[in-house]
Structures are given as C-alpha cells and as structure tokens.
Amino acid sequence: MAQNFEQIEKNVVWHHATVTRGRREIMNEHRSINLWFTGLSGAGKSTLAHAVEERLSQMGCRTFVFDGDNVRHGLCRDLSFKIEDRSENIRRIAEMVKLFLEAGIISLTAFISPLAKDRLKVKELLGEENYLEIYCRCPIAICEERDVKGMYRRARRGEISEYTGISSPYDEPESPALTLDTGSLPLEQCVDAIIELLENKAILNYSPDKAV
C-alpha cells in the first residue's frame, strides 16, 4: 500500500490556482482559519460549532461545519471505530480542511479526536497559524446525562468496545487556544468567547494590506 502511494505521488503535481487564498480572504473580508472542537461525546462540540457558525454567518462570514456523524455518512463511511481507523478519519478531515483554508473559508470541525498525537498531526498539516484548538471540557457524568443515543449506556454494558471515556482513552489538550467548560457555561457565553478569540487573532475584519 505504501508503495502505491509513493507511485501516485510521483505522477501528480499540486496545481497553484491564479485565484489565491489571499484574494479570497480579501473578498470575504476575513481570514480563513480552522476551529478544531475536541472533547468527549456529549461535551457539546457540535452544538457549539453550529452556534458559532450561526453567529459568524450573521456577521457575513463564509463558514462550514464538519460534523463527526455527517462525515461518517460519506467521506469516511468505510472506516470503523477502531483506534487506527479513527486516526485515519481525522487525517482525512484535516486534508479536507486544508482545501477549505485555500478557499478562504472558516471551517469548524467537531470531532472527539481523542488522541493528542492525531491532533498534533492536524496542527502540523494545517500550520499552527491556521489551527485553533477549542477544548470542550465537560465532566463525563454530564456527558452521560446528555446521551440521547444511549451510547454510554451501551459502552458500560460492554456492547460497544473502544468507546472514548469508558473503554478507550481521551488525551486532554495541554495547551489549547481556548478551554470552555461546556458542562456549566451557557452556550451564548461560549460563543462570545470564541468570537472574542477570533477578533483577538485578527481573523475577522480582515484588512487587504495583510493579504499575501
């Protein structure tokens, strides 16, 4: 398999478009960036990501949310939930996000992404300046209370193997761009904190003289 990839790479060349990321950012009036939401299942990642997208949309920003379940229906439908396939799931998402960065879009990715090494690979692939890790910190007891799908109950009964927080590890981020206690903070307060982060990072209200 590795040999096949090497042969393919020899026969393909990255095409550099005349419409650059910088030009798209000028048109959009904001920088492209990735907000990577990580946390346990039930921590509120998707809810928060969509709420932030709604706020950004109202501000005139071009955005897209990559939701874990939605991606599993298409791009990653061939992958299992074994740890190696979960790493491949994250790799594929990162490659998609890289393209969205070139498109000048603010992408919001809501994935458990339990392994620190996988999140580090995403950061390295996208570039540190393009990656803002948002840790949705929530006690597992609250996550289980929010478990409308009954996944935690099934995991505790042993019906699901390698379930994050129960039978599979979650590596807490050591230095995320932002940590939000989503088990106790109101949703709007969390959204406000992320918008403030984007403003402080000069992502919003982008000036043409900063484009490259």
Give the separation between CA 65 and CA 103, rounded to whole angstroms.
Answer: 14
Q: How far is CA 98 from CA 1, 32, 137, 167, 195, in A?
A: 24, 10, 26, 32, 22
Give the separation between CA 30 and CA 207, rounded to whole angstroms.
Answer: 8
Give the separation between CA 27 and CA 128, rounded to whole angstroms.
Answer: 23
Residues 6+ apart with CB under 8 A from 57: 63
Instruction: Show which residues are catalytic.
Output: 113
